[in-house]
Amino acid sequence: MKLRLNAITKRFDGHLVLDAVSLALEKVHTLVLIGPSGGGKSTLLRIIAGLEFPDSGGVEINDEPVIFQEESLLRHRRSVGTVFQAFNLFPHLTALQNITLPLEQVHGHSRVEAEEIAHQFLSRFRLEKHGTKRPAELSGGQRQRVAIARAVSIKPKLLLFDEPTSALDPEMTAEVLDMIRQLRDEGRDFILVTHEMGFARQIADQVALLADGRIMETGAVAQVFENPASHATREFFGKVLKY
């Protein structure tokens, strides 16, 4: 994946959340965004996904600009699979239906095709016994695995994960991280926001640290973790790696 962020600025109610964020990566499979809470990571991810409009600046993925106009954004969103920390499953639908709905309504598959695809991914992610259950009947780890299955089933060009384990206990966290690692090992391109520093270090090609709405440092994972150049990065690691 080739990724360019060009001076992205975003405010909410006058509060500056992203301050001219720029980044240029010529080749990356796994970009991990780290940094303190409130630093702008989730907002940046939502802009890359086409779910938020920047006040200024732009995004290019594989040399194709994201056009922040509704018709163009609809096409862009169809090509991106996004997984949120709160699962974002439809509570009145079964696990199977949560996967088939976008396949039918957004991607034009017939019901038979959509169900065949959904069953494939439920089986792959060890959810075949849970297809008829609604989200309230599933564990947190199972709900997040359904959300990942839904995101991957559309064959996206890019996967975006926003703190996918923050609502899970340690055992369920391990389940979900194993799934994400499998996707990485398949060569899928994705951007991950996480506070799981050990996992970030294992899975990332590139790491970018956001704080106060700005990218303070970016680089190869070994360089950023072992020899951080910025004071902000050293201070962040000093806190999160202390224990």
pLDDT of residue 7: 97
Helix H segments across the chain?
41-48, 70-78, 95-105, 111-124, 140-153, 170-185, 197-203, 221-226, 231-240
**Residue 237: left if φ>0, alpha if ψ -120 to 50, beta else—which one?**
alpha
Residue 224 reports pLDDT greater than 80? yes
Chain mean pLDDT for the chain = 92
The full set of domains in the chain, from first to last, is 1-72+191-243 (3.40.50.300)
pLDDT band at 101 (very low <50, low <70, confident <90, very high): very high
pLDDT of residue 134: 96
Query: Taking the model in full, what pTM does it have?
Result: 0.91
Cα distance between residue 203 and residue 188, in whole Å? 12
Share of the chain above pLDDT 90, in %: 76
Residue 242 reports pLDDT greater than 80? no
pLDDT band at 213 (very low <50, low <70, confident <90, very high): very high
pLDDT tens string 106-157: 999 999 999 999 999 999 888 999 999 999 999 988 998 999 999 999 999 9
For residue 101, what are the CA distances in angstroms to 78, 80, 174? Answer: 13, 16, 28
Residue 100 structure tokens = 């088939």
